[in-house]
Amino acid sequence: MLTIFLNAFSILLILLLALLLKKLGLLAQKDGALVSKLVVYLTLPATILIGVNHTKLSSTFLVLMCLGICTNLFLVFLGKILGRKQDPVAQGLYMFDLSGYNIGNFSIPFVSSFFPAAIPYLAMFDMGNSFMVTGTTQAIVERSLWKKKQRGLGGALFNTLLKNPPFVVYLLMFGLAILGWSIPEQWLIPLRPLSNANTLLSVFTIGLFMEFRLPQGQLKLILSILWWRYLLAIILAIFFYFLVPFPALIKEVLLLIFFCPMSFLHMIQAVELGNDRAVAGLVISLSMFVSLVLMSLVVIIL
């Protein structure tokens, strides 16, 4: 329990440090874009390579990939229903924020130090999750609310995914797993310093992007989205933990995923479709703290 507490405290400390440096003017939110590139192009791919190497492909992994897609689809369309009384912009925010999981930048750093056995399962779910959050969900929102026809949608999504280094690494490791191959451990030694830096840089990036400015008249919308996000997480957690015959380890991983924070990519996409950056940013910022508490409780209880 002490290890879990210290790990959660270390993440909170990094978040607060990033916020403090931003408050002092030593860093700015725009600096988060640079740090995030280091995470996306260097530290996270290294973490995935090391964590997933030697993983043997099984039907469980294929189920988790499909589950990553299906869970997102279910929550996207549920978000449309729950936000049906809102204007299209706010309804789109429901669709974005009720779906999508920040696994690479939050869940993997959170569990890597005390629950490394979970990383391959997180990665397989995140392969399906990445397929959705990198562009598919945005295409669904645009087509559903604004009736925008997506010409060449399949090709556009494919190009977007191939520009996402973590997703490319997922594909590489998935291909190696199919062939029954793995990367020799000595080849991965140069990548370990990058992998060790992933937690620090990932969480620090989140701290730099956090916003706590409350636009007038938007509190009800923000609280409603957070309420439905975590109520649905509880429902999914109960369903898969008590009713689906998965092994205990898979159930624990799914609980951590369901209580994971919202995707930062969805915040960017929501802003592109007309949402106030302060609203979109505040919802996700608050979800970081809520998720940190709930994920810590899940690990302690289980």
Share of the chain above pLDDT 70, in %: 94
Query: By the 8 A CB rule, do 42 and 194 touch?
Result: yes
For 227, the 3-state DSSP assignment is: helix
Tokens 């429902």 label which residue? 235
Summarize pLDDT for 106-117 with one digit per residue, the tens. 888 888 767 888
Query: By the 8 A CB rule, do 165 and 102 touch?
Result: no
Sign for the pseudo-dihedral over CA of 227, 138, 205, 169:
positive
Summarize pLDDT for 158-177 with one digit per residue, the tens. 766 777 788 888 888 888 88
Summarize pLDDT for 123-149 with one digit per residue, the tens. 889 988 988 987 788 888 888 886 655
Give helix 88-97 / helix 59-82 axis angle, nearest 10°. 160
DSSP 267-285: HHHHHHTT--HHHHHHHHH
pTM of the model: 0.86
Tokens 């929501």 label which residue? 270
